[in-house]
Structure 1
Amino acid sequence: MMSTKRQQKTVQSCDIVKRKKLNIDSKRKFYTHFEDLSNEIIYEIFDYLDIYHIYEAFSNLNKRFDNFLVSSTFPIKINISSMSKTNFQYYYTNILIPNKHRITSICLSNLFIVDFICSSPRIILTFIQLERLILDNIQLKYIQNIPNHLISLFNLHSLTISLIDKIQNKNNFYYSIFRLSTLKYCKLSFESYIRAKPLLISSNEYSSIEHLIIHNESTLDEFRIVLSYLPQLRRLYWNKLFEILRISTSFDRSYFDANRWERLISSYMPYLRIFDIQHNDNSYDQMTCNNLNNLFISSFWLKHQWFFTHQCYSRGYGKQINFYSTNPY
């Protein structure tokens, strides 16, 4: 009798173990391990990571990932913001140089690394597949000759430059950028001296830029001249300033010249849909304020359905005009 009970308990225990094992096996079927992912999905994941972190995580992990890092052709993005000199030397020697033919994007903001790479612009020329270059918060001395060298990078279509010091000659700076024949996107952030020499109007040289962002105080004359270099421009953002044009300016009365705006838009922005302007001037007389009622009322403005108004008021010890769009859309 006791033997029979022991046998029953043994059978029940075995059944419980089997059921638990089956449950575990069935749950495992719903688990996906990273190494089970296809190459295509892993490439997609790597696209969000800097190559330095990819090497740190997957180097010498197994043969498959070693092949990814050494023999694969997936594009590499470089984003160096903070890194010690020792780590960068290893990074440069063991990662950047062996993979320079696969690098498509570089973002530099570390002063030491910018100094290392930009002090000799020819280093950038080794990245023959480079498509995007971001130079963030750098000194002017490091980019004096870089644009001239970038001409040889035929895949470069996106350029972002942010300077921490003032430009003496915007003429040369703009011209060096506009000469990059494959550029489609360009973002420039810089300060310049007020009396800087303006760019000469283009007669036979044009840029391929389609999307331009400029953070810099500029005159209307400079704005008009820059546009003469950009026949393919589709999107423009100028100075906290094509189908869309938004401008916020101060202290330059040439922005009140409606006839000049009409010629500028007709010649260089024939597809403009939205014209949104706000202009402030803190020095005016009553005649100037009254004359604003007769501006921007020609058939050109009525045809586009762009309307404007203004306010004239005293502020502190001075007087101010606030001129702005009422129906920019």
Structure 2
Amino acid sequence: MNKNSTKRQLELSSIQKKKFRPRTTSDDKVITQLENLSNEICYEVFDYLDEHAIYKAFDELNARFQKLITTSSFLLKIYIDNESHLKIEDCCKNLRIPNNRILSFHLHDPVQAESFFQNCTFDSTFTHLKSILLHVIDDYFQAQQLKCLESLPHLLSLTLVLYGDQCYNQEDMFIDDIYEIIFTLPYLEYSSLSVIKYNDQYLPTFVDKTIQSNSITSLHMDYDCDINSLLSVLSHTPQLHQECSVKFDRFQKFVKDIGSQIKIFWIQGYLPDDDDIEPDQWRILIEKDLPQLEKILLRSSVTTDVSKINSVIDQLNSSFWIDHQWNIRLEIEPDESSYFVSSYISTRFDFDQKIQTMSNSTSNELLISNVDDLPWQQPMIEQLIPILSQMKFTRIYSCNSQLSLDNFIQLINLLPCLDSLKMDVVSEEQCNSLSVEDKEKFLSVSMLNTITKVVQKMNIELTEFLIKLCPHMTYFQVDSIKDDDDDDIEELVQFILLKRKTDIPHLQSLCLNLRNVNDELITILRNIMDSEKITASDYLIKSSGTFIILQWKLQ
């Protein structure tokens, strides 16, 4: 679930709190390890701590830090759990003074929450309060205690965790009362309601139809409810973009009731099902219940198993998916594999507008990751390769995988529609270990494949291998994995330019994705181009962020 927040959400209980020990010079002048840091950096440090930890560590350190933490522009975060040394009674006494400095208020201890509502309340003086999290026990908590939140002028996020059986009492309508208050909060964008249940009952919810929230865009419902209750809540949130925690069978019922209105279908994540959800299940749902569908972004997972992947590919090859001309991506990983379906234009190679235009077409992508950890023996990997060849993959990405070169060459040979290739690593030992038969097959594959776009990690052996494998490439991208020296980059570029004359004559664009892009490096690249006797009018060098791209006209 994506959540709007102004600062990083950290579990402070997991952060080891350290005491700052001042040291002294011979003049007994107090010096701290932080005293030379700017105010901005100090505030970044404070951002990882709650109010109590900040005051305990810095209030009496020296005058400068005392001023930093008491200034009205420094906003505070209150975090209290059952391990906190701060008592809520003391916190409430101190809160009456700096209310306008409270940015977030998180109570993870139900006992402390009960004490808070006995000693304190929220009101309009909390002008900067944006996030509230409360763990409460229903026996000691009334929904009306949340009415005070209506006076908060900037509350964006509210998270409630309820414990107890009263939540399931239909006579008290406890959950209904909570939602009715939530929907009246004028600026709330994110709402999360979780119920720690003590029984297996569904939780009914029927909110007053006259109440509607026009601000909530993200909603998290973490409890058991029937489809009518879900629809009742959703009918009051017309701006909702995200909702989560529902299994596929209930999700089907939900879509059946509202699917005729859906034009954009965006499921990016994992539904909490015990069984795999295969493409045919999504196909049936789309065909029956989404007649107005215009755009789709779907991600679903299956067990990494040869028969399961075979089934997924077979289903994705049906006329339904092909006729829609959606982009498809299959990711094979050790424990769990995923498939993606998207109607959105894929722009993986999008640094340059010309290259982006070349990518504006339907694509099928294959990612193979961490082959060394796959729970298969070599014969099973060999079973997988012909299965993958059943689908017209146009892009392949080998990520952190020591897939043997003979298997890799076999895979390339069986995917005649490949246009783009991304590869992380190949060793000199692998290249030298190819048999005579494999080398002959390699030569055949290199001549027949139609790969024009290649991306690799910075590795000279891999560069040489890919140049030999993909002689038709027009775009070559090299991604740096460390802070490479300018000399290493210069050597790589010179090597590629040399090979351009003999092995990759169609190359038009060389893109460098580096950790450090600077004017000195660009000057070095210009000198290289000049040394190759390429006139300035025949090439172009430009940079953007971490990218440098070299383009030249073909002779």
Band of TM-score, shorter chain = 0.5 to 0.7
CA contact (8 A) 1:109 1:138 kept: no
Match of 2:238? 231
Query: What is the alpha-carbon distance in structure 1 between the residues aligned to residue 163 and residue 259 of structure 2?
Result: 33
Q: In the alignment, does 2:183 pair up with 1:178? A: yes
Q: In the alignment, does 2:264 pair up with 1:271? A: yes
Letter in 2 for 1:232: Q
Q: Deviations over 1:215-264 (max 9, x none)?
A: 111111122221111111111113xx1xxxxx3457xxxx766xx73450
TM-score (normalised: structure 2): 0.40
Match of 2:96? 97
TM-score (normalised: structure 1): 0.64
Give the gaps of 5 or more residues in structure 2: 1-31, 275-282, 299-314, 317-338, 342-555
Query: What is the alpha-carbon distance in structure 1 between the residues aligned to residue 216 and residue 115 of structure 2?
Result: 29
Structure 2 CA distance for partners of 1:72 and 1:42, relative to 1, 3 Å:
farther
Q: Which moved more, 1:185-194 or 1:95-104?
A: 185-194
Q: Deviations over 1:172-193 (max 9, x none)?
A: 2221211111100111101488
Match of 2:34? 34
Query: What is the alpha-carbon distance in structure 2 between the residues aligned to residue 86 and residue 49 of structure 1?
Result: 14
Cα deviation, residue 200, structure 1: 4.3
Match of 2:395? none
CA contact (8 A) 2:203 2:226 kept: no
Cα deviation, residue 47, structure 1: 1.1
Q: In the alignment, does 2:134 pair up with 1:127? A: no
CA contact (8 A) 1:184 1:208 kept: yes
CA contact (8 A) 2:204 2:226 kept: no
Structure 2 CA distance for partners of 1:206 and 1:114, relative to 1, 3 Å:
closer
Letter in 1 for 2:215: S
Query: What is the alpha-carbon distance in structure 2 between the residues aligned to residue 235 and residue 297 of structure 1?
Result: 23
Q: Deviations over 1:297-328 (max 9, x none)?
A: 4484696789xxxxxxxxxxxxxxxxxx9978
Letter in 1 for 2:227: L
Query: What is the alpha-carbon distance in structure 1 between the residues aligned to residue 156 and residue 82 of structure 2?
Result: 26
Cα deviation, residue 146, structure 1: 2.8
Q: In the alignment, does 2:211 pair up with 1:218? A: no
Aligned ranges for residues 162-311 of structure 1 at < 5 Å? 162-166=161-165, 167=167, 168=169, 169=173, 170-190=175-195, 191=197, 194=201, 198-200=205-207, 202=209, 205-238=212-245, 241=246, 247-249=247-249, 261-267=255-261, 269-274=262-267, 297-298=287-288, 300=290
CA contact (8 A) 1:184 1:211 kept: yes
Letter in 2 for 1:162: V
- Secondary structure at the counterpart of residue 54 of structure 1: helix
- Secondary structure at the counterpart of residue 134 of structure 1: strand
Aligned ranges for residues 145-160 of structure 1 at < 5 Å? 145-160=144-159
Structure 2 CA distance for partners of 1:185 and 1:302, relative to 1, 3 Å:
closer
Structure 2 CA distance for partners of 1:140 and 1:296, relative to 1, 3 Å:
farther
- Secondary structure at the counterpart of residue 148 of structure 1: helix
Query: What is the alpha-carbon distance in structure 2 between the residues aligned to residue 77 and residue 54 of structure 1?
Result: 10
- Secondary structure at the counterpart of residue 186 of structure 2: coil
Structure 2 CA distance for partners of 1:112 and 1:221, relative to 1, 3 Å:
closer
Match of 1:74? 74
Structure 2 CA distance for partners of 1:54 and 1:302, relative to 1, 3 Å:
closer
- Provide the aligned C-alpha RMSD in A: 3.8
Query: What is the alpha-carbon distance in structure 2 between the residues aligned to residue 299 and residue 66 of structure 1?
Result: 62
Aligned ranges for residues 49-64 of structure 1 at < 5 Å? 49-64=49-64
CA contact (8 A) 1:158 1:185 kept: yes
CA contact (8 A) 2:143 2:177 kept: no
CA contact (8 A) 2:248 2:273 kept: yes
CA contact (8 A) 1:121 1:146 kept: no
CA contact (8 A) 1:100 1:127 kept: yes
CA contact (8 A) 1:121 1:145 kept: no
Q: Deviations over 1:261-286 (max 9, x none)?
A: 3450333x432233987889xxxxxx
Cα deviation, residue 122, structure 1: 2.7
Structure 2 CA distance for partners of 1:215 and 1:100, relative to 1, 3 Å:
same
Q: Deviations over 1:93-141 (max 9, x none)?
A: 3x43332220110111234421221235635665332110000254353
Structure 2 CA distance for partners of 1:294 and 1:117, relative to 1, 3 Å:
closer
Percent identity between the two aligned chains:
26
CA contact (8 A) 1:201 1:225 kept: no
Aligned residue pair count: 255
Query: What is the alpha-carbon distance in structure 2 between the residues aligned to residue 43 and residue 102 of structure 1?
Result: 14
CA contact (8 A) 1:122 1:149 kept: yes
Q: Which moved more, 1:188-197 or 1:39-48?
A: 188-197
Query: What is the alpha-carbon distance in structure 2 between the residues aligned to residue 130 and residue 294 of structure 1?
Result: 46
Cα deviation, residue 87, structure 1: 5.2
Letter in 1 for 2:255: W
Match of 1:16? none
Query: What is the alpha-carbon distance in structure 1 between the residues aligned to residue 35 and residue 237 of structure 2?
Result: 48
Letter in 2 for 1:114: A
Structure 2 CA distance for partners of 1:175 and 1:278, relative to 1, 3 Å:
same
Q: In the alignment, does 2:160 pair up with 1:161? A: yes
Q: Which moved more, 1:229-238 or 1:134-143?
A: 134-143
Cα deviation, residue 204, structure 1: 6.2
Structure 2 CA distance for partners of 1:200 and 1:132, relative to 1, 3 Å:
closer
Structure 2 CA distance for partners of 1:72 and 1:296, relative to 1, 3 Å:
closer
- Secondary structure at the counterpart of residue 149 of structure 1: helix
Query: What is the alpha-carbon distance in structure 2 between the residues aligned to residue 98 and residue 117 of structure 1?
Result: 16
Match of 2:458? none
